[in-house]
Structure 1
Amino acid sequence: MQRKRLCRSFSATSSLLVFNVLAGLTAANAATLSPGVDVSLDFAQDYFNNVSGGAEHGSGSPSALHLTTTVDSRALQGSGNDVVHLDVLGLGGTSISARVGDLQGLDNNEATNTVRVFEAWYQHDFKAQGLSVRLGVQDYNALFDTLDSAGLFINSSFGLDPSVGQVGLSTFPESTLGGVMRWQNDAGIYVMGGVYDGTPGLAGHPYGTHVEWRQGDGTFINLEAGVQVSGDDGYKLGVGAWHRDGDFEDPKGNLRNSNQGLYFLGEKHFSSRYLGVPFSLFTQLGGADASRNTFDHYMGAGMTFSGLVPGRPDDTAGFGIARVHLSNAYRDVTAGSTQAETAYELTYQAVFGDHFSLQPDIQYIQSPGALSSVDDAWVVGARAEVTW
């Protein structure tokens, strides 16, 4: 069947060209940029060592570089209600998950080494109505199923509930075309919905940028509603539902053409008047159709503390637990599988000035790969991050 292409694929060469242009812009003096133009760089270099258990001992060093340009209509003497955003992503280094054999992805920077356009979208804000519309290549997880306090952690599950992430949607490390509409009122109540190409990238071509909506890709649809209140004692509660159509194989090899799931997320921030330092608590719950997916439910929770060390108010410490449960459909066809894999993470982000942070990190992975034959793993390491 002839494939219908809605957008031509970009090559790795074009991605690299954009990457170099943005690098030059970032190196320029920020003061020369006009109001409404923001150029930023974020580079994170990780190093982890699997010191005990897991598939094999050894180290890995994933890295990720984001070069981002955001331009709003103030740059053209406008209101600022129109925004164009471009994010070029460079990935490098070696795998640590290959050493451990974990399912959840203990390092959220790890992916195939390449350079690609990660986001390229346009957004219009109807500010009087509390409404925004975003169209283009975009990261699902930038708006949906996300919590600020959980963003401290390096394990991938805290960033995106793996019961959703397992379907291969538009998010790190490869995003695709989508449209999102979001509404929020003055009380913080919000509702948003998104429609995305159901199959990011191009099968068999993991390098460079490939943006095309092909026949057979299917569609991923998500709805989320909740309340989000900012401030030192702010909070967020949200519930979401997703549906994906398009052909795929379930864990037993049966051909399916639809998939669905639900998730809940919440966090509460507390000012320093409670314990003497600001802290936050969060929780994540997700579930997917047990007959069609590897993971049928996920539970995550954690806490973060700011300024635990006197004289260092910008440092943040955190402890989190992420547990993904394996479906019976998967376990029936996987010899030696256990019920779940659980990750425990203890981390501390030390901030030095406006542009550098160092984050020591310890993770204990219980039943890596959800396999009874693999010993629990201890993984230690750190992330160094430069932002500009």
Structure 2
Amino acid sequence: MKKPCKRVLMLAATPVRLGALIALGVAHSAFAQSAPASTGLWDRATLFGDMGGVRPWLDNHGVTFGLQETSEYLNNLSGGVHRGGAYDGLTEMSVGVDTQKAFGLPGGIFNVSALQIHGTSITQRNLQAVQAVSGVEAEAGTRLWELWYQQSFASGKADVKIGQQSVDQEFMVSEYAGAFMNATFGWPVLPSMDMPAGGPAYPLSSLGARLRLTPTNAWTVLAGVFDGSPAGSGSGNGDVQRLNAHGTNFNLHDGALFIGEVQYALNAPDSNAPDAKQSGLPGTYKLGFWYNTQHFADQRYDSNGLPLADSASTGVAQSHRGDYGFYAGADQMIWRPSADSPQALGVFARVMGAPGDRNLVDLAVNAGVTLKAPFKGRDNDVAGLAVGYAKIGSHAQGFASDTATFTPGYPARSAETVLEATYQVQIAPWWQVQADFQYVFRPGGGVPDPQNSARRVGDEAVVGVRTVVAF
């Protein structure tokens, strides 16, 4: 799939705070694009095919339409606040316009997308984990997601994107990590927990501008500035997503988020000869940072320097100006039988950190391995195993310790770890089914059970199944 616009070219590239789903969609899209052009039900790229000639006609005029439904059911068999299952789902709709085909303006792409989110969040209702077991679950509703225009220049070596954007589509993305369902393998747990409203990532977005430079096939530089809080300010009645319930706030009043990333592609394909066989195993390595200009509450101390858990505390946390984080990531194919073999083994790793005084999570690490075409005749199936680690910030840990001083037995907090095993079955180019198992150790890093604050929430075993259909 080409870089300029994942969803304009093929809707299967759905959100990445939908962590798993974004690369699940990328994998689907790559398979769909390589599938033979056929009107047969099991061969066509989308369930509805060319829609009686409508799709080819739109494409000739530079318009691409996408519609995709993701549905899943997850059940925690042990641990958590409650046991049981929950259904959640997402319908994504997008329209993209190639301005050269449509208006004769070279290098332009216009994109608008909307989300219809339905079902229940099992993480919020049953689990209390900081690493949500699904990247799809969110506040139910219908909302605008992205609305932007992108223009390339410098002979295609640079482009700028302006408008309402979800930064998880381009920043901190891991190709191999996206095969997993847990949200931390998409938009990671650290920015999700530390940025206001979880940052401009699914299901939210922010007004801003992004510049991309690709001076060579190997090097890419991304830099952007966005509104600091995609949900805005005020009371969200328990969920910040309700502050921007329809995605149409277009807010520019809550500070700024600056983000930058440098990428190096090892054994990158030659853009002048895209069909040439690569001599080495491909990989991508990334370094990045982010800085938010808003004020952030201390996780342990009040405005007078007393522990917030102390009865003498003002109850008003110390305020810190600004917040920031650094991250590094790698995706590397480590084995394939031959250059034209569908079978391949890939590994990924990401690590990121942020200050421990103003953030719930100050260190996050995830890593894993995926095997494409694990069985003969199943060229587009993917099997994977991954682990995610989220360390509770030093001051948040201190707050738990302070609370234990006044409430004997109150559990200490340290870190949460999730282990995930998954298998994706590509039934048709337009239909994918995924079976999944996750085990969460020390949910919330040891968050107290709301039914008994003297004990932590028990470790959780979660099973699930997801189906993705591109229409």
Residue 49 (structure 1) aligns with? 75
Letter in 1 for 2:58: L
Q: Relative to total residues, which structure has the larger strand share, 1 or 2?
A: 1
Residue 222 (structure 2) aligns with? 192
Match of 1:240 among 280, 288, 303: 288
Contact 2:176–2:331 at 8 Å: present in 1 too?
yes
Distance 1:315 1:129, change over 3 A: closer
Alignment of 1:186-265 (within 5 A): 186-202=216-232, 203=234, 204=236, 205-206=242-243, 207-215=245-253, 217-229=254-266, 230=268, 233-252=281-300, 253-265=317-329
Match of 1:283 among 327, 346, 349: 349
Q: Does 1:348 align with 2:416?
A: no
Aligned partners of 2:144 and 2:218: how far apart in 1? 32
Q: Percent identity?
A: 26
Letter in 2 for 1:375: G
Aligned partners of 2:154 and 2:111: how far apart in 1? 18
Alignment of 1:75-94 (within 5 A): 75-76=101-102, 78=104, 80-94=106-120
Alignment of 1:356-375 (within 5 A): 356-371=431-446, 373-375=456-458
Number of residue-to-residue matches in the alignment: 363
Aligned partners of 1:79 and 1:30: how far apart in 2? 21
Report the structure number with the largest CA radius of gyration: 2
Match of 1:31 among 42, 56, 59: 56
Match of 1:308, SS state, is: coil
Match of 2:59, SS state, is: coil
- TM-score, normalization by structure 1: 0.89
Distance 1:162 1:39, change over 3 A: same
Which segment drifts farther, 368-377 or 318-327?
368-377
Q: Does 1:309 align with 2:384?
A: no
How many angstroms does 1:361 deviate by? 0.3
Aligned partners of 1:235 and 1:270: how far apart in 2? 9
Q: Could you report, residue by residue, the CA deviation over 1:160-179 in whole angstroms, capped at 9, with x for unpaired residues?
A: 22222221311111111011
Aligned partners of 1:269 and 1:344: how far apart in 2? 21
How many angstroms does 1:108 deviate by? 0.3
Q: Does 1:337 align with 2:412?
A: yes
Aligned partners of 2:431 and 2:398: how far apart in 1? 47
RMSD: 2.0
Q: Does 1:177 align with 2:207?
A: yes
How many angstroms does 1:94 deviate by? 1.1
Alignment of 1:14-29 (within 5 A): 29=54
Letter in 2 for 1:347: T
Aligned partners of 1:286 and 1:42: how far apart in 2? 32
Match of 1:333, SS state, is: helix
Aligned partners of 1:341 and 1:77: how far apart in 2? 52
Q: Could you report, residue by residue, the CA deviation over 1:328-373 in whole angstroms, capped at 9, with x for unpaired residues?
A: 2001223413310001110001011121110000000001121262
How many angstroms does 1:121 deviate by? 0.4
Gaps of 5+ in 2: 1-47, 237-241, 270-277, 301-316, 401-409, 447-454
Which segment drifts farther, 205-214 or 65-74?
205-214
Distance 1:314 1:323, change over 3 A: same
Q: Does 1:64 align with 2:90?
A: yes
How many angstroms does 1:66 deviate by? 0.8
Gaps of 5+ in 1: 1-23
How many angstroms does 1:210 deviate by? 3.2
- TM-score, normalization by structure 2: 0.74
Contact 2:342–2:373 at 8 Å: present in 1 too?
no
Residue 182 (structure 2) aligns with? 155
Aligned partners of 2:106 and 2:334: how far apart in 1? 33
Aligned partners of 1:127 and 1:63: how far apart in 2? 41
Aligned partners of 2:335 and 2:214: how far apart in 1? 24
Aligned partners of 2:388 and 2:376: how far apart in 1? 30
Contact 2:207–2:252 at 8 Å: present in 1 too?
no
How many angstroms does 1:125 deviate by? 0.8
Which segment drifts farther, 88-97 or 330-339?
330-339
Contact 1:176–1:211 at 8 Å: present in 2 too?
no
Q: Does 1:100 align with 2:159?
A: no
Which segment drifts farther, 330-339 or 42-51?
330-339
Letter in 1 for 2:250: E
